[in-house]
Copies of this chain bind each other. A is one copy, B any other.
């Protein structure tokens, strides 16, 4: 059984494939044969040492995957051998409020992650994959899709007729676009590439804007919404885009703070939040109960994730490098044979 590990110190150059002995299945645990692993920006930050420098190495990165259950310990009843499952991001966050204890159980750091041929998890830590999806597609759901769902559905309460702004063409943003359409919302999408904007339009975006040629996209989005501002912004940029997002959103609206792709820290005029009665809601993936509800929705709508490219297990480093370029449109996936 082979695993990719961050070895010795952080950095893409320190990713290594190591052989590890298989363990016996313990009570309440399931043994998973990994079929596909999807990469998230968090994984890239982790590997390059920008996420948590205190994480103990060696560490198997990544938290997204789809797998087959190939062994089940005593007492396992939620799933059975042969089932196709996905691990949940925070292994102990099954429902209810986020707590430090629950969020300390995330895969890909501090716990060993999914970029491995096999792994063992508590049966409580996996959910069934929607049947209509390929392995590669199903592997993309645990973080990116659930983050979009938690933001729009659980926290946002987005309803038909609402307007939603999504930024760029990364995994979360495209899921957010697809789900916003599923929710009956109108979507305003931004990107720095006209070609990607065209593809976002094909995925259902009602309006698109190139933020390179139109840096005042906040005002533009507000105008597009009819002047009041959009109901919901899926903020993946972070520090350097938040001010524009606050310009885009309507009074009483919500900004779901999902990512910090543009940076963690920048000057922010917080009076805007106050004067417009805006809610800025940080969103960190979500719990298992939401995951299962989302899967039910994905199955009902036969929604299909957008996969940009797949890489073989031996080329996992290339997958990370590709993610780093930011060229992708949708998810980058490592496929295991």
Task: State the A residues within 8 Å of B (CB).
Answer: 27, 94-100, 103, 153, 157, 159-161, 179, 182-186, 228, 238-239, 242, 251-252, 257-260, 264-284, 287, 289, 293-301
In the complex, which residues of chain B have a beta carbon less than 8 angstroms from the beta carbon of A97? 95, 252, 289
Could you tell me if B271 and A301 are in contact, using CB atoms closer than 8 angstroms?
A: no
* Bound complex: CA A239 to CA B99 (Å): 26
Contacts known (A184-B301, A251-B103); A278 close to B268, Cβ less than 8 A: no
Could you tell me if A284 and B279 are in contact, using CB atoms closer than 8 angstroms?
A: no
In the complex, which residues of chain B have a beta carbon less than 8 angstroms from the beta carbon of A274? 238, 257-260, 282-284
Contacts known (A99-B251, A297-B184); A280 close to B277, Cβ less than 8 A: no
Copy number of this protein in the oligomer? 4
Q: Give the residue name and chain of the B residue nearest to A99 (CB).
A: B251
Could you tell me if A95 and B98 are in contact, using CB atoms closer than 8 angstroms?
A: no
In the complex, which residues of chain B have a beta carbon less than 8 angstroms from the beta carbon of A283? 274, 277
Please give 5 more A-B residue pairs, beta carbons under 8 A apart, in addition to A98-B251, A275-B282: A96-B96, A97-B252, A161-B299, A268-B268, A280-B281
Could you tell me if A270 and B260 are in contact, using CB atoms closer than 8 angstroms?
A: yes
Could you tell me if B289 and A282 are in contact, using CB atoms closer than 8 angstroms?
A: no
Could you tell me if B270 and A242 are in contact, using CB atoms closer than 8 angstroms?
A: yes
Contact of A183 among B160, B277, B287 (CB under 8 A): B160
* Bound complex: CA A265 to CA B268 (Å): 5
In the complex, which residues of chain B have a beta carbon less than 8 angstroms from the beta carbon of A281? 279-280
Contact of A161 among B186, B257, B297 (CB under 8 A): B297
In the complex, which residues of chain B have a beta carbon less than 8 angstroms from the beta carbon of A183? 159-160, 183-184
* Bound complex: CA A159 to CA B282 (Å): 21
In the complex, which residues of chain B have a beta carbon less than 8 angstroms from the beta carbon of A99? 228, 251-252
Could you tell me if B264 and A266 are in contact, using CB atoms closer than 8 angstroms?
A: no
Contacts known (A160-B182, A279-B281); A271 close to B266, Cβ less than 8 A: no
